[in-house]
Amino acid sequence: MTAKHYSFGMLFLFITVLLAGAFVVNKSDHTESEGGERGTMSEKLNHLIENEPKLQGAITGISIRDAETGKKVYDHMGNVRLRPASNMKLLTAAAALAVLGENHTFSTEVLAGSSTANNQLNGNLFLKGRGDPTLMPEDFDRFAKKVKENGIDMIDGDIIADDTWYDDVRLSPNLVWSDEHWYYGAQISALTVSPDKDFDAGTVIVEVDPGDAGEQPDVTVTPDTEYVQIRNNAKTAVSESEEELTFNRIHGENRITIDGSIPADSETVKEWIAVWEPTEYAMDLFRQALVREGITWTGKVKTGQAPEKAHVLYTDKSIPLSELLLPFMKLSNNTHAEMLVKEMGKAVHNEGSWEKGLDAVESEMEDFGVKIDTTVIRDGSGISHMNLLPPDEISKLLYNVQDEKWFGTYLNSLPDSRKSDRMAGGTLRYRMDNLNVQAKTGTIDGVSSLSGYAQTESGGKIIFSIMLNNLLDEDDGPGIEDKIIEILVNQ
């Protein structure tokens, strides 16, 4: 071999080895990235988004910020408008704290329209609601007792419900019609009732207990009210069969129909069903309470407006907003969100409507640096599929509210993954064990979202907003979100 050929052969061998080494290095890097065990946070998140089968064909919006500086540390379609579902409540809660204040309460008044003589009220008795979503059946017993304590045994007039503190539009804009009989689609009134301390205002609890196989199950309604009627078409099936009960309330009526079957060995099946016209539902409970107190009247039980000169017999105050935020945010209570919107409209514009209330919300969002011109806000709860928010604007809000004096209350209202108690862990109590996450969940058809705060393994704090839209099954969302959060906190 000549020196020339030898030199060329050595050069060829050197280049071959170099390329082979480069190929090995690149392959190694590629494998590490795909495995998700090594690599930067961004690489791991990108890999998850690109390779998660349930995200194929869906839209994934993610915005992550450093909680100390507000600087974005990761973005994936963060400026794209997406349906937020109940992440909309993050805006509503912040606006309510800013507009109404932590100590805001809702009141309910018992009013006399005329004078009393010889244990007789010579005129109408009024029950005026001012938006309290926490009134329960026992409160109406107390109202009746207060009437009695004011020396009234007889009312020469009507019993009148005054719900004019808010307008008479009962259902939020763009509510899906099939949602209106469920507790999360309940009608909004300034005078309403909650059946238990979850404070799902405007609903009754329907419980179904199995009988013997082939027989009708037993059905009870809480509270005990004649305002709703039950049509029980259900049957008790053999033990160990599948429970197939359905509940429905006809539009415009208060007849609840139960169909299907319940196994003989089943536990009680319980559903919260929204009533039609919650004001009249409240008045049915007040009517019953008056009767139990031995109070009679000559007129009718109806709705109307109390005169300004009416005499106050009793004023009831709700828990403060700081406490109401717990069932509102922890349990994602839609009714609370919409009542807070109307209350803000009343406070700012003296009109308890969605239009004026959402004007107040948008104004507060602008003060918090949120670009309202890139959003669509149609309600306070997020139940509407017309709401559109970019993840970037939610993460920006969560960063900016940290400077507010009420931020501790706001943060405490968020579901906490470290807490197992229902009113502490909320909708995160069965998710992300051992991770320090406080965040608001959200779910509507095809949509899952999660936005809030997380502590990283290195001791830092991050703000995140994750919105998954156009999922084939929204129930797939939480598992994907939890994987994303695990990547975030392990950096």
- Point out the residues that are catalytic: 86, 89, 332
| Residues 6+ positions from 300 with CB-CB distance below 8 Å | 158, 159
| Residues 6+ positions from 438 with CB-CB distance below 8 Å | 411, 414, 415, 416, 417, 452, 453, 454
Nearest to 279 by CA among 221, 173, 193, 346: 193
The rounded distance, in Å, linking the Cα atoms of 144 and 128 is 14
| Residues 6+ positions from 147 with CB-CB distance below 8 Å | 110, 125, 290, 293, 295, 313, 314
The rounded distance, in Å, linking the Cα atoms of 389 and 267 is 41
Residue 259 to residues 99, 208, 250, 253, 270, Cα–Cα distance (Å): 45, 11, 13, 17, 14
Q: φ, ψ for residue 302 (rounded to 5)?
A: -155, 180
Taking a C-beta distance cutoff of 8 angstroms, is the pair 95, 365 a contact? yes
The rounded distance, in Å, linking the Cα atoms of 408 and 80 is 30
Nearest to 316 by CA among 286, 336, 357: 286
Burial class (CB in 10 A: 0-12, 13-18, 19+), 16: exposed
Taking a C-beta distance cutoff of 8 angstroms, is the pair 46, 60 a contact? no
Strands 159-162 and 246-249: unpaired
The rounded distance, in Å, linking the Cα atoms of 250 and 276 is 9
Distance between terminal CA atoms of the chain?
Answer: 57
